[in-house]
Structure 1
Amino acid sequence: MEFERFMAMAEPRLRTALTAAYGPVNGRAAAVDALSWAWEHWSRLSVMANPVGYLFRVGQTSARRQQATAFPLDADVHAPAEVRPWLDLDLVRSLRDLSEQQRLIVLLVHAFGWTVRETAEALDLAPSTVQTHAERAIARLRQSLEGCDANDR
């Protein structure tokens, strides 16, 4: 695959996942770092089974160096709904209660459509571990959000 075609496919997925995990500023910076690494190491990256997953790890390392905080999980949960109409505060609170790993897995698999295999490779976990974390996290979210009414927000 050519680098340009790879970039067109990989950049939006990578940017979206890193932004969800590390916030709009640190996530985008991490995506830029990962894509820069991809350009410099294209011959190595182009033969990998899951190059986007590998780049996610490169970006994750970059974001951790920046001591990023997650977004929107760092949002002011006491802000009135009119201030942030796009933000489901009950969901934010529930996501905060998950472990960092469960939260990231839920976002990658359920919000961004990564497969369990892609997520497992990106996070250096067994697919069964990703599946278990995803199932447990979704169960906790359902339990936590039970009784919440979206119309109240």
Structure 2
Amino acid sequence: MTVEEFEEFYARSLPQLVGQLYLMTGDLHEAQDVVQEAFVRAWGRRSRLDRAVGPEAWIRTVAWRLAVSRWRRRGRSLEAWRLRDGGLRDSAAGPDPDTVALVTALRRLSERQRLVAVLHYVCDLTVEQVAAETGIAPGTVKTHLSRARAALAPHLDESTSAFEEDHGV
């Protein structure tokens, strides 16, 4: 990938990838940080980005792994803050009420269910693509999708239906 192609890829993909990671993490600032760091890492590998899988998938995977790594490192300090403050406040408000409702509902899912649901419904990846990107067996992806839908249903109402329709949820 040439410098110009990478710059075009960055400009075209950044908002979408930040949005996807926001839904995966539930924290807009964290999503912005990890996507930005993933792009920095991709810059050094731009000539080798696998176009068969797609550079977006590479960025998304790296950003997700960075987020998980950060969560693990901060786990103990976050617990200390929770005990001190009696609970964490939401770190970032969504851009609109429907997105906030969806993110709040997604936060109720397990990490794996949330990842699989966002990749499938928001990123519009097939079950096979989700399996390849996450390393989870296709049958297990289907199970997580089914459980995620069942878990989300009671928490999403008519106010999120337009967002769901737009994003295939």
SS in 1 for 2:136: coil
Distance in 2, Cα, partners of 1:18 & 1:48: 22
- Is 1:3 aligned with 2:6? yes
Compared CA separation, residues 120 and 85, structure 1 to 2 (3 A): same
In structure 2, the gaps of 5 or more residues are 76-88, 160-169
Contact 1:53-1:118 within 8 A present in 2 as well: no
In structure 1, the gaps of 5 or more residues are 77-83
Compared CA separation, residues 25 and 96, structure 1 to 2 (3 A): closer
Contact 2:106-2:152 within 8 A present in 1 as well: yes
- Is 1:99 aligned with 2:103? no
Compared CA separation, residues 29 and 132, structure 1 to 2 (3 A): same
Partner of 2:122: 111
What residue identity is the alignment partner of 2:53?
Answer: A
Compared CA separation, residues 99 and 4, structure 1 to 2 (3 A): same
**TM-score, normalised via structure 2 length:** 0.62
**TM-score, normalised via structure 1 length:** 0.67
Q: Deviations over 1:71-112 (max 9, x none)?
A: xxx649xxxxxxx97158876665344211112222232234
Compared CA separation, residues 7 and 137, structure 1 to 2 (3 A): same
Q: How large is the Cα RMSD of the aligned pairs?
A: 3.3
Shift of 1:122: 2.6
SS in 2 for 1:137: helix
What is the aligned residue count? 137
Distance in 1, Cα, partners of 2:96 & 2:60: 30
Compared CA separation, residues 3 and 93, structure 1 to 2 (3 A): closer
Distance in 2, Cα, partners of 1:93 & 1:28: 18
- Is 1:33 aligned with 2:37? yes
Contact 2:13-2:56 within 8 A present in 1 as well: yes
Partner of 2:23: 20
Q: Deviations over 1:88-145 (max 9, x none)?
A: 8876665344211112222232234333333333322233322221122112322x34
